Structure 1
């Protein structure tokens, strides 16, 4: 059964991104919020963000509240911050597979890929 998971690594501090608010949207004729979670001490969400019958072919968007995370750590970002929300839009083409979307982030950069 397919599922969607994520993992955040704070490359600026060399640690998991714990306590980051993550929102999940389905993109169609509009953008519909379908879920949210917070990362745990390992930078992962405790449950898949999407699975079962809700996990289907389509375009999705993850929004990571990175600015809030860094401000809570005491990092001065300036106003407006260079990165506040990191938005990743991606497609799910095979609903029977595991889609893992890791995010490597710092206050001024991010990188992602389809993990396993």
Structure 2
């Protein structure tokens, strides 16, 4: 089974971004799963099956910003990535602020 996880950190506060809705879709746009970041800003498992090929994580940052009383420029972040090893471990972290974000392939 593919291991897929994420972590969202609020770069303004330096704290985990709690309550960010995240959706996992395949290349056809089919929703595979959705979850919300926990008290540590993490979702430990987004995959319940073997995955391969291009997939997308969509982070509903608008919901997070509204909950924080912040106006943000990016209402959502969509990260496309290619799963080349269905038995592999994939971690997609996001560093978030109202006017910028960054991501990388974590481990």
Give the TM-score normalised by the residue count of structure 2: 0.93
Deviation for aligned residue 1:99? 0.2
Q: Which residue of 1 aligns with 2:106?
A: 115
Aligned pairs (5 A) from 1:29-68: 30-45=28-43, 47-51=44-48, 54-68=49-63
- Aligned partner (choices 73, 89, 92) of residue 82 of structure 1: 73
**In structure 1, what is the Cα distance between the partners aligned to 2:74 and 2:16?**
18
SS in 1 for 2:105: coil
Give the TM-score normalised by the residue count of structure 1: 0.87
Q: Between Structure 1 and Structure 2, how many residues are aligned?
A: 107
Let me know the Cα RMSD of the aligned residues.
1.2
Aligned pairs (5 A) from 1:88-103: 88-103=79-94
Deviation for aligned residue 1:2? 3.1
**In structure 1, what is the Cα distance between the partners aligned to 2:2 and 2:67?**
34
Bigger-Rg structure (1/2)? 1
Q: Which runs of 5+ in 2 are unaligned?
A: none
Q: Which residue of 2 aligns with 1:3?
A: 3
**In structure 2, what is the Cα distance between the partners aligned to 1:98 and 1:59?**
15
SS in 2 for 1:31: coil
Q: Which runs of 5+ in 1 are unaligned?
A: none
